[in-house]
Chains A and B, each alone.
Chain A
């Protein structure tokens, strides 16, 4: 049976312009081949830079931002898309092959209503009349679970939420009855609880319409729920290619195995009772226009242990970090550190107070001054807090680099010359240079690839052992919480929903929100999504 989509020996290149060097040709995708049958889903998985989006876009014969398809064939029903001319490929795009972008917010035109944009391709390709397209759009809005489907199309992109936009984008792709849809990380930007709904909606829609799909993501657990086959990519090359079942349950390559086994428990829960290092009492905080973000939060962190604060966007977890560091003085409540009250605002705190609490940011790119070398970045706290200069400073910087497992050769590098993982390590070294007692980690691994993130977490745990550091680890990722936390705080819409030792917080009986949160995290297990959906249907039927 001829496949719907047959990609043979795909090669994609681009020109890179490294600073201070002549431009050079890089290969983004190297000799990738796969087949996709009608109605089936192929998951493309890999870390960022692996080339998955580029491959996805090649199914529309499109190269984003300077990427050129220089070799191979992309056969849609036997016809090579790469050989088609401009008008030829235009007839295919939006009609036979459609694309769902990662950021629906940016992909929709703010000047036009959603309905008009959803039906535009179908009508312009002459596939259906405006009336027919509207009817189909309405049907798709229903299938995708959008609220008020009859009037949804009359709204503008900025009037609906992110999850709804993502579904609208899926409707736009399905509207023209394409043979193939390319989904480019459609749920990455969404909250965990929204993600599961969108994922289910997408799965339902493509099953209903018997559309084939390329599903691109970096999250193996997600792709396991929706794909029939999975292809693992790394640095533009195929690492492993097989059925979803085989990849998840019996991965052959070491890299695939590492991806599957990520997030095993890294550290057992601490059982020893230690003194409280940081105490947050009844903190309510908000902004000057009266808008409150935190409501009566009380928690504490024992010395040498990790408190994980978990919540979705809007939960207030980052705001709590700002209150603790003094950037946002609370409206009510107090913070105390090592038994002494801590001044609510930054300027009331002594340099020593500031030294003992350090912060590590999510995006290491913007957390370090691009015009400073690694030596300056790590060295400044040494000079500022301890007056170290010259040889003493150089020696200490070397020590710190060793602790973060990087060689001394990095001292003269600039942040732009480091990889994501290396940047975050330097950020950790900068925090360590101050000899702190508490480090606030604000989603430090969210922007990193799973394996790199693993390395960072291991490093943090090692340092905690050696130096008896306390961590407040802010995250939205339950798997991380399970792996490293001693105590857990669950936040939702500014309120502390649950707080206590990890074993207690993560075991039933649950409150509604924690229940929802825990259930929404995809497990690395085939058929997990069906189970959850069935449970939900049963629960709502039973009510």
Chain B
């Protein structure tokens, strides 16, 4: 892979992701003010001192944005890593074993997928206690169904190739076949899917926070910040649009990178059906 071959749109995406990562890691050092520190008037407009103005409680939006990057990225990345691992392990096992294991896993997955993710999350979160780990777990389990579906399709594509049969005929065990024969040949589409899931996790988390079910205040989280400041919209206060814009910007960056990865895989998938 030549660096020169990467199109400019992908570079923009990579830059955006790195910026968010930077903010997340170094938040306490680069944020001008504290996460919950009240520094001025409610909804003060943007000026030289407070680049994005102040929010509904007089806190600095820029600082909260930077701290919010930490929460958002931590939760989204965590959820994606867990959902991905879970989905891939289950789907690859199903694809290689076929038979009853495959049927049971796939039918259960279909069942889980027949309820839209948001609705499922709402129902489950109505019952479970509020906690950031519960949130990550719920997001992960629900999203793993999408990963399972793709993983199984991709693994099956490879599993029917003759070199996999040749390995079976040699006497190779299931573990070898999954990790040494199938997985290396599925890296490209899997990587693209990881990106898609990550973008979805960011959007999903902010939606949950916006609805009041995600990260709880006073912790800064981009979706929650929109919720806090939404009442200002009717008065022409754009404070809620700033965190919303940040979410959008990060999601766009991830999608730009994924788009590039998908082109490399020459997959025909053009949609991001995440219902």
Q: Which residues of A contact B (CB under 8 A)?
A: 20, 325-327, 346, 349, 351, 354-355, 359, 361, 363, 366-371, 380-381, 384, 430, 434
- Please tell me if B185 contacts chain A, counting CB pairs below 8 Å: yes
- On whether the beta carbons of B169 and A367 are closer than 8 Å, the reply is no
- On whether the beta carbons of B163 and A346 are closer than 8 Å, the reply is no
- Please tell me if B162 contacts chain A, counting CB pairs below 8 Å: yes
A430 to B163 Cα, complex, angstroms: 12
Contacts of A381 in B (CB 8 A): 170
- On whether the beta carbons of A380 and B170 are closer than 8 Å, the reply is yes
The bracket for how many chain B residues form the interface is 10 to 19
- Please tell me if B161 contacts chain A, counting CB pairs below 8 Å: yes
CB-nearest residue of chain A relative to B2?
A: A20
With beta carbons under 8 angstroms apart, the residue of A351, A355, A366, A384 that contacts B161 is A366
- On whether the beta carbons of A354 and B170 are closer than 8 Å, the reply is yes
Enumerate B146-197 residues with CB–CB distance to A below 8 Å: 161-163, 165-166, 168-172, 181, 184-185
Q: A369-B181, A370-B185 are in contact. Are A361 and B171 (CB under 8 A)?
A: no
With beta carbons under 8 angstroms apart, the residue of A346, A361, A384 that contacts B162 is A361
- On whether the beta carbons of B185 and A367 are closer than 8 Å, the reply is no
CB-nearest residue of chain A relative to B181?
A: A369
- On whether the beta carbons of B169 and A384 are closer than 8 Å, the reply is no
Q: Which residues of B contact A (CB under 8 A)?
A: 2, 161-163, 165-166, 168-172, 181, 184-185
A481 to B181 Cα, complex, angstroms: 35
With beta carbons under 8 angstroms apart, the residue of B165, B166, B171, B181 that contacts A351 is B171
28 A-B pairs whose Cβ atoms sit less than 8 Å apart in the complex: A20-B2, A325-B169, A326-B169, A327-B165, A327-B168, A346-B169, A349-B171, A351-B171, A354-B170, A354-B171, A359-B166, A359-B169, A361-B162, A361-B166, A363-B162, A366-B161, A366-B162, A367-B162, A367-B163, A367-B166, A368-B163, A369-B163, A369-B181, A369-B185, A371-B184, A381-B170, A384-B172, A434-B170
A381 to B161 Cα, complex, angstroms: 19
- On whether the beta carbons of A371 and B171 are closer than 8 Å, the reply is no
CB of A374 to closest CB in B, whole Å: 13
Contacts of A325 in B (CB 8 A): 169
A100 to B185 Cα, complex, angstroms: 36
A363 to B162 Cα, complex, angstroms: 9
Contacts of B185 in A (CB 8 A): 369-371
Contacts of B170 in A (CB 8 A): 354, 380-381, 384, 434
A361 to B162 Cα, complex, angstroms: 8
CB of B184 to closest CB in A, whole Å: 4
Q: What 18 additional pairs, Cβ within 8 angstroms, besides A327-B169, A369-B163, A371-B185?
A: A327-B165, A346-B168, A346-B169, A354-B169, A354-B171, A359-B166, A361-B162, A361-B166, A363-B162, A366-B162, A367-B162, A368-B163, A368-B166, A369-B181, A369-B184, A369-B185, A370-B185, A381-B170
CB of B167 to closest CB in A, whole Å: 8
CB-nearest residue of chain B relative to A371?
A: B184
A253 to B205 Cα, complex, angstroms: 73
Contacts of B181 in A (CB 8 A): 369
A361 to B161 Cα, complex, angstroms: 11
Contacts of B184 in A (CB 8 A): 369, 371
CB of B171 to closest CB in A, whole Å: 5
CB of A186 to closest CB in B, whole Å: 28
Interface centre among B166, B181, B184 (most CB of A within 10 A): B166
CB-nearest residue of chain B relative to A351?
A: B171
A216 to B2 Cα, complex, angstroms: 40
CB-nearest residue of chain B relative to A22?
A: B2
CB-nearest residue of chain B relative to A369?
A: B163
Contacts of A371 in B (CB 8 A): 184-185
Contacts of A351 in B (CB 8 A): 171
A218 to B92 Cα, complex, angstroms: 41
Contacts of A354 in B (CB 8 A): 169-171
CB-nearest residue of chain B relative to A322?
A: B165
CB-nearest residue of chain B relative to A368?
A: B163
Contacts of A369 in B (CB 8 A): 163, 181, 184-185
CB of B133 to closest CB in A, whole Å: 37
Q: A369-B185, A371-B184 are in contact. Are A384 and B171 (CB under 8 A)?
A: yes
Q: A-B pairs with the 6 shortest C-beta distances?
A: A371-B184, A367-B162, A369-B163, A366-B162, A351-B171, A354-B171
CB of A453 to closest CB in B, whole Å: 19
A363 to B163 Cα, complex, angstroms: 10
CB-nearest residue of chain A relative to B187?
A: A371
CB of A365 to closest CB in B, whole Å: 9
CB of B34 to closest CB in A, whole Å: 50
CB of A487 to closest CB in B, whole Å: 24
Contacts of B172 in A (CB 8 A): 384
A380 to B163 Cα, complex, angstroms: 13
- On whether the beta carbons of A366 and B163 are closer than 8 Å, the reply is yes
CB-nearest residue of chain A relative to B163?
A: A369
Contacts of B166 in A (CB 8 A): 359, 361, 367-368, 430
A361 to B172 Cα, complex, angstroms: 18
CB of A69 to closest CB in B, whole Å: 26
CB of B90 to closest CB in A, whole Å: 23
Contacts of A370 in B (CB 8 A): 185
CB of B178 to closest CB in A, whole Å: 13
CB of A346 to closest CB in B, whole Å: 7
Contacts of B2 in A (CB 8 A): 20
Contacts of A363 in B (CB 8 A): 162
CB of B158 to closest CB in A, whole Å: 9
CB-nearest residue of chain A relative to B165?
A: A327
CB of A531 to closest CB in B, whole Å: 40
A277 to B181 Cα, complex, angstroms: 32
